[in-house]
């Protein structure tokens, strides 16, 4: 099984537990805190990932650090992650968990590619249009790619909406080439 599938499975199990106990948002914050710790403190990453340190020692340290600060169910989840030696997947699990929370709350993460940096009003207009189009509350993740020349490319789930100027120019070029060929061969129709 690949890393993404494993992370998704752990996130789904955690989400189901959190949903059952009405702790979805609390667990989300706890996971975000763990994720931030892992992103900013290399010593913690090394400690959790070290094969030289016994799992029981890692558990003892995590219990003393988190007990009373996170729901017991979340702490137990961390213990299972350590038992199964999946601590290297905690950041991936957090990402997958966030996607499940967004889906439950009707939020849709959308990657928006623009040719230039969007000002706040432009981004607000894009977000409103995409929310209307999808019927969900859109969370845009904007990226700049000058190669698209202008327009917008939107990706969410397995969908791609390409309204870039580059795509339009390529399409226009193709149609002009087909028309040029048809003009030279009057008996053929462009495909």
Q: Render pLDDT for 109-153 as a digit per residue (tens, 0 to 9).
A: 999 999 999 999 999 999 999 999 999 999 999 999 998 888 899
CA nearest to 35, candidates 90, 72, 104: 90
Could you tell me which of 147, 140, 139, 138 has the C-alpha nearest to residue 118?
140
- Residue pair 100/11 in contact by the 8 Å Cβ criterion: yes
Q: Residue 71 is encoded by which pair of tokens?
A: 């729901």
CB of 147 closer than 8 Å to CB of 133: no
- Confirm if 83 and 55 have CB atoms less than 8 A apart: yes
pTM, full prediction: 0.70
Q: pLDDT, tens digit, for every residue of 70-102? A: 999 999 999 999 999 999 999 999 999 999 999
Instruction: Determine the Cα–Cα distance for residues 81 and 89; give it in Å rounded to an integer.
Output: 9
Element (H, E) at 174: helix 165-184
Domain with CATH 1.10.520.20 in the chain: 3-103
CATH top-level class of 3-103: mainly alpha
């Amino acid at each position: 099984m690949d890393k993404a599938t494993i992370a998704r499975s752990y996130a789904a199990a955690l989400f189901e537990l959190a949903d059952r106990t009405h702790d979805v948002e609390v667990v989300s914050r706890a996971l975000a805190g763990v994720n931030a710790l892992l992103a900013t403190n290399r010593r913690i990453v090394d400690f959790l990932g070290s094969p030289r340190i016994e799992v029981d020692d890692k558990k003892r340290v995590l219990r003393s650090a988190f007990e009373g600060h996170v729901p017991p169910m979340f702490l137990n989840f961390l213990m299972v992650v350590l038992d199964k030696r999946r601590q290297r997947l905690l950041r991936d699990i957090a990402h997958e968990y966030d996607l499940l929370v967004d889906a439950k709350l009707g939020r849709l993460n959308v990657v928006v590619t623009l040719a230039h940096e969007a000002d706040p009003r432009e981004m607000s207009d894009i977000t409103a249009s995409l929310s209307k189009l999808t019927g969900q509350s859109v969370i845009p993740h904007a990226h700049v790619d000058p190669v698209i020349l202008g327009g917008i490319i939107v990706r969410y789930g397995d969908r791609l909406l390409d309204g870039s100027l580059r795509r339009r120019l390529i399409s226009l070029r193709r149609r002009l080439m087909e028309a040029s060929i048809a003009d030279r061969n009057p008996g053929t129709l462009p495909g």
